[in-house]
């Protein structure tokens, strides 16, 4: 489990700083504590007998800040980890994918701009394909097949079988069908259509062979 | 004693109904299915599958969730044995000898003994829960706010001590978790705290959002940094049923592991994690030839796996009787219960006896299911293990989005999992563990409430926590444990326990 945070105990570094990770961690805690104290500055602390809303948050923030101070102090006295390599591509694309899902699943307005509610039929594939590119090994063909298979699966599972109130497709789309069709019938047809799309991609798109299996290294963390 | 049996029969009456039997089966199957995927631990699994239980009645939903939990736990062991990737802390030790057995062509036996050991441990743990449920609930009813507060402090101290890595960082995470729980409207005065004036923060941070962000999404970001190529065991799985000789060797470790796991699991503050480590250490110490460990000793699989399962189950005790979740998984259970309108605590047993006893009986049923499901389906799991991560994580991502959206139908909730995902990723990168943060967050609200009540009752006298004997006792235990953990010699031992991989 020690390998959960790679970087390892760094060699004795030049200069007084012996644990860059500890320093940044401590500074982060101090910043968070300061933020909390600043946010509760207008609230009443009260007394122990009748506690105000700010009493507990303030004391907790002070505790967090103290931990941060000790961490900063220790980063100059005892050896610790170096700073880890931070990647940009993974987090950025994962966040983009989630935000794309959030703004397309149902109408969402931010100030003057508002997005149309497109439902799971658009939000699902969007999340999978944008998210899929978070790894350099992404392949469009596989992601398309995955999107076209998982989306109808989720439509049937969540919309049809479990009846969760998730928008499945844009309202405009549902109006294309004769009025006698029920929502569920449209849903099933759309799902079948998606699955057909997966089959199409599978048959038409050229494939690359790759035998190796990659798996997440999950060294026993919870 | 009569009570014990009548309660259990009430429970089995509920658990053995066709619907609940089906749900337990489904839960175990789906839980194993997701839990087997490398890189997906029980917490992520439960968080992801939470929405599929929404449409059910509370009893059915909790039975299914419990099934998902055991399934995910067992699935993690399968991955540990076959790919040497422990899905979570508790199966780290299983990977040591289990994977070696797999390399020697004895994967089947390792999986078999893990399943059988888990089943025996589960049976024993079910009986322990049934026996302890009533007296502990009675005890809980005697607890006032003062005692509750001290009990939670003790639980959090245990969580700090049992977390791996720096104690200081674990303390900071717990404090930060409690601090996060105070975001939102103050219940007493109605004033908004730390909400940035945002309306969706007025009710506080949603637990499911926080959990899915710092576990589900942050895990994906972290795993993307660390994908590596590993081979699934290529040797034949071999026979599944252990031989007589295997049983003879494994019997005592299973028994010891069960007892160790069951006792440690009851501890508030994630004692269940310690069970497998303790069991492994004990087996290694007791063995005639300790050098066999790490090279495919069957005792090294049987003991920890039994401890793992026993602890997983007895960790329900603090939740069901005291209403205090001892670890992150149980915290998710609290979330699930509240969604279904059940407030966990001592009153569950008296108010919803069919839920309480039904769930306990379903634990045994779930264990039996695992045995029945897993052994014949090993081939399926092996194929699942070959799904590359580049295809797995977009799927997980979408499930997380749908799951969190379906709770409140709020797009902002979905965006918040991205935010907390980034926060969790940063914390991991800085060497902080997210689990204590989550535990602090869950206990935070309860703690503040009880702290206030205790102070109101004592008219603002802080010494009330020391004046009440039970409360004082709990605090002393917490203090002793904390001091022991800080002592250099014990620290060294603690580090060794956690560095065994």
State pLDDT tens for residues A177-222: 777 777 778 888 888 888 888 888 888 877 665 544 555 554 444 3
Whether chain A has a CB inside 8 Å of the CB on B489: the answer is no
Are the beta carbons of B118 and B367 closer than 8 angstroms?
Answer: yes
Are A34 and A103 within one domain? no
Give the pLDDT score at A221.
41
Phi, then psi, of B123 in degrees rounded to 5 = -60, -45
Are A74 and A134 within one domain? no
Q: Where are the domains of chain B?
A: 1-496
Question: Partners of A115 in the beta sheet?
Answer: A108
- For residue B220, how far is the Cα from the chain centroid? 20
Question: Is there a domain that residue A6 lies in?
Answer: no
Give the pLDDT band (50/70/90) at residue B269: low
Report chain A's terminal Cα–Cα distance, integer Å.
10
Over residues B294-308, the pLDDT tens digits come to 788 888 888 888 998
Question: Is there a domain that residue A222 lies in?
Answer: no
The mean pLDDT value for A94-103 works out to 92
Answer yes or no: is pLDDT of A80 > 60.
yes
Cα of A129 to nearest chain B Cα, Å: 8
Residue that is last in its domain, among A51, A84, A117? A84
Give the pLDDT score at A162.
73
Are A55 and A139 within one domain? no
Chain A interface, best mutation among B85, B95, B145, B172, by max A CB count within 10 A: B172
Q: Chain A to chain B, count of Cβ pairs less than 8 Å apart?
A: 285
pLDDT averaged over every residue in chain B: 81
Over residues B166-213, the pLDDT tens digits come to 888 888 999 999 999 888 887 777 778 887 777 778 888 887 788 888
Environment class of B96 (CB within 10 Å of its CB; exposed 0-12, middle 13-18, buried 19+): buried
Phi, then psi, of B366 in degrees rounded to 5 = -60, -40
Which has the higher per-residue pLDDT, B318 or B89? B318
Helices (H), B37-106: 42-49, 58-83, 92-103
Over residues A46-56, the pLDDT tens digits come to 777 777 778 88
Are A181 and A158 within one domain? yes
Cβ of A91 within 8 Å of Cβ of B422? The answer is yes
The mean pLDDT value for A56-76 works out to 90
Taken as a whole, chain A contains a residue count of 222
Are A43 and A117 within one domain? no
Owning domain of residue A156: 87-206
pTM assigned to the model: 0.80
Are A194 and A106 within one domain? yes
Over residues B242-265, the pLDDT tens digits come to 888 888 888 888 999 999 888 888
Are A124 and A79 within one domain? no
Give the pLDDT score at B501.
37
Cα of B131 to nearest chain A Cα, Å: 30
Give the pLDDT score at A186.
81
Radius of gyration of chain A (CA): 26
Give the pLDDT band (50/70/90) at residue A2: very low
Are A146 and A36 within one domain? no
Give the pLDDT score at B496.
53
Give the pLDDT score at A5.
41
**Nearest-by-CA chain A residue for B448:** A56
Give the pLDDT score at A220.
41
Of A66-75, B25-34, B492-501, the range with the lowest mean pLDDT is B492-501
**Nearest-by-CA chain A residue for B187:** A53
In chain A, which residues have their Cβ closer than 8 Å to the Cβ of B405?
101-102, 105, 166
Which has the higher per-residue pLDDT, A71 or B50? A71
CA distances to A180, B41, B111, B334, B366 from B27, in Å: 37, 15, 20, 18, 9
Are A76 and A106 within one domain? no
Of B29, B85, B89, B41, the closest CA to residue B386 belongs to B85
Answer yes or no: is pLDDT of A117 > 80.
no
Who's near B47: CB < 8 A, 6+ residues apart?
A: B208, B211, B212, B215, B216, B332, B400, B403
Give the pLDDT score at A1.
35
In chain A, which residues have their Cβ closer than 8 Å to the Cβ of B220?
90, 94, 134
Which has the higher per-residue pLDDT, A221 or A86? A86
Answer yes or no: is pLDDT of A98 > 90.
yes
B 262-321: CB under 8 A from A:
273
Who's near A175: CB < 8 A, 6+ residues apart?
A: none
**Nearest-by-CA chain A residue for B408:** A165
Are A74 and A96 within one domain? no
**Nearest-by-CA chain A residue for B383:** A213
Give the pLDDT score at B332.
80
Question: Partners of A215 in the beta sheet?
Answer: B228
Who's near B188: CB < 8 A, 6+ residues apart?
A: A51, A53, B452
Who's near B2: CB < 8 A, 6+ residues apart?
A: none
Give the pLDDT score at B420.
92
CA–CA gap between residue B125 and residue B448 (Å, rounded): 32
Are A153 and A185 within one domain? yes
Are A72 and A170 within one domain? no
Cβ of A29 within 8 Å of Cβ of B176? The answer is yes
User: What percent of chain A is predicted at pLDDT more than 70?
Assistant: 85
Answer yes or no: is pLDDT of A69 > 80.
yes
In this complex, the residue of B52, B394, B399 whose CB is nearest that of residue A132 is B394
In chain A, which residues have their Cβ closer than 8 Å to the Cβ of B446?
none
Over residues B393-438, the pLDDT tens digits come to 888 888 888 888 877 788 888 899 899 999 999 998 888 888 788 8
Give the pLDDT score at A216.
54
Are the beta carbons of B314 and B266 closer than 8 angstroms?
Answer: yes
In chain A, which residues have their Cβ closer than 8 Å to the Cβ of B498?
1-2
**Nearest-by-CA chain A residue for B232:** A213
B 213-232: CB under 8 A from A:
217, 219-221, 223-232
State the ipTM, two decimals: 0.82
Query: What are the percentages of helix, strand and coil residues in chain A, rounded to 5?
Result: 55, 5, 40
Residue that is last in its domain, among A54, A84, A114? A84
Which has the higher per-residue pLDDT, A80 or B70? B70
Answer yes or no: is pLDDT of A145 > 80.
yes
- For residue A102, how far is the Cα from the chain centroid? 11
pLDDT averaged over every residue in chain A: 78
The mean pLDDT value for B355-362 works out to 85
Cβ of A98 within 8 Å of Cβ of B164? The answer is no
CA–CA gap between residue B199 and residue B203 (Å, rounded): 8
Cβ of B411 within 8 Å of Cβ of A108? The answer is yes
Per-residue H/E/C for B448-499: HHHHHHHHHHCCCCCCHHHHCHHHHHHHHHHHHHHHHHHCHHHHHHHHHHHC
Residue that is last in its domain, among A84, A113, A142? A84
Whether chain A has a CB inside 8 Å of the CB on B69: the answer is no
User: What percent of chain B is predicted at pLDDT more than 70?
Assistant: 91
**Nearest-by-CA chain B residue for A6:** B429
CA–CA gap between residue A56 and residue A61 (Å, rounded): 8
Answer yes or no: is pLDDT of B497 > 70.
no
Question: Is there a domain that residue A107 lies in?
Answer: yes
Domains contained in chain A, number? 2
Cα of B245 to nearest chain A Cα, Å: 31
Question: Is there a domain that residue A11 lies in?
Answer: no
């Amino acid at each position: 489990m020690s390998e959960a945070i790679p970087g390892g105990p760094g060699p004795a570094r030049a200069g007084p700083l012996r644990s860059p990770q500890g320093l940044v961690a401590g500074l982060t805690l101090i910043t968070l504590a300061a933020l909390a104290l600043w946010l509760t500055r207008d609230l009443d602390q009260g007394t122990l007998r009748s506690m105000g809303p700010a009493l507990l948050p303030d004391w907790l923030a002070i505790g967090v800040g103290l931990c941060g101070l000790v961490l900063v102090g220790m980063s100059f006295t005892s050896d610790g980890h170096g700073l880890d390599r931070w990647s940009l591509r993974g987090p950025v694309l994962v966040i983009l994918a989630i935000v794309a899902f959030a703004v397309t699943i149902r109408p969402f307005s931010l100030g003057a701009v508002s997005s149309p509610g497109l439902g799971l039929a658009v939000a699902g594939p969007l999340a999978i394909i944008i998210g899929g590119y978070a790894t350099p090994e992404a392949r469009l063909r596989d992601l398309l097949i995955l999107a076209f298979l998982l989306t109808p699966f989720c439509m049937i599972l969540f919309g049809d079988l479990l009846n969760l109130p998730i928008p499945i497709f844009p309202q405009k789309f549902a109006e294309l069908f004769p009025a006698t069709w029920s929502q569920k019938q449209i849903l099933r047809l759309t799902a079948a259509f998606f699955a057909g799309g997966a089959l199409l991609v599978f048959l038409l798109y050229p494939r690359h062979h790759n035998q190796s299996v990659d798996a997440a290294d999950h060294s026993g963390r919870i | 004693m009569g009570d014990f049996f009548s309660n259990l029969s009430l429970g089995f009456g509920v658990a053995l109904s066709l619907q609940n039997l089906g749900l337990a089966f489904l839960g175990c199957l789906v839980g194993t299915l997701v839990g087997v995927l490398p890189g997906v631990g029980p917490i992520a699994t439960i968080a992801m599958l939470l929405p599929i239980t929404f449409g059910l009645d509370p009893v059915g939903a909790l039975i299914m969730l419990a099934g998902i939990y055991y399934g995910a736990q067992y699935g993690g062991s399968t991955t540990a044995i076959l790919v040497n990737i422990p899905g979570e802390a508790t199966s780290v030790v299983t990977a040591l000898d289990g994977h070696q057995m797999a390399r020697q062509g004895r994967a089947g036996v390792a999986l078999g003994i893990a399943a059988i050991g888990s089943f025996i441990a589960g049976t024993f743990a079910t009986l322990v829960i049934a026996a302890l449920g009533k007296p502990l609930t009675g005890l809980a009813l005697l607890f006032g706010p003062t005692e509750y507060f001290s009990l939670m402090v003790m639980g959090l101290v245990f969580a700090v001590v049992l977390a791996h890595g720096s104690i200081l960082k674990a303390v900071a995470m717990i404090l930060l978790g409690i601090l996060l729980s105070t975001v939102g409207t103050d219940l007493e005065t109605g004033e908004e705290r730390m909400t940035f004036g945002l309306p969706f923060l007025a009710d506080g941070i949603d637990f499911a959002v926080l959990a899915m962000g710092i576990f589900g999404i942050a895990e994906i970001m972290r795993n993307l940094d660390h994908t590596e190529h590993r081979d699934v065991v290529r040797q034949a799985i071999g026979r599944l049923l252990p031989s007589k000789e295997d049983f003879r060797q494994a019997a005592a470790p299973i028994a010891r592991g069960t007892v160790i796991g069951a006792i440690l699991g009851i501890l508030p503050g994630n004692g269940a994690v310690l069970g497998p480590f303790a069991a492994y250490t004990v087996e290694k110490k007791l063995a005639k030839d300790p050098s066999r460990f790490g090279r495919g000793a069957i005792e090294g699989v049987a003991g920890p796996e039994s401890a793992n399962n026993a602890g997983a189950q007895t960790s329900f005790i603090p939740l069901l009787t005291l209403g205090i979740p001892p670890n992150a998984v149980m915290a998710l259970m609290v979330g699930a219960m509240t969604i279904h309108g059940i407030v966990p605590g001592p009153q569950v047993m008296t108010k919803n006896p069919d839920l309480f006893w039904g769930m306990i009986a379903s634990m045994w049923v779930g264990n039996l299911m695992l045995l029945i499901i897993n052994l014949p389906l090993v081939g399926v799991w092996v194929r699942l293990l070959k799904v590359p991560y580049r295809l797995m994580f977009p799927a997980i991502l979408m499930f997380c989005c749908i799951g969190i959206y379906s709770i409140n139908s709020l797009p902002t909730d979905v965006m918040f999992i991205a935010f907390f995902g980034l926060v969790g990723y940063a914390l991991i990168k800085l060497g902080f563990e997210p689990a204590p943060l989550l535990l602090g967050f869950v206990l935070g609200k309860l703690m503040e409430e009880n702290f206030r009540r205790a102070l109101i009752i004592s008219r603002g006298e802080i010494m009330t926590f020391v004046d009440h004997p039970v409360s004082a006792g709990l605090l002393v235990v917490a203090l002793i444990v904390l001091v022991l953990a800080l002592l250099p010699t014990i620290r060294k031992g603690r580090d060794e326990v956690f560095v065994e991989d």
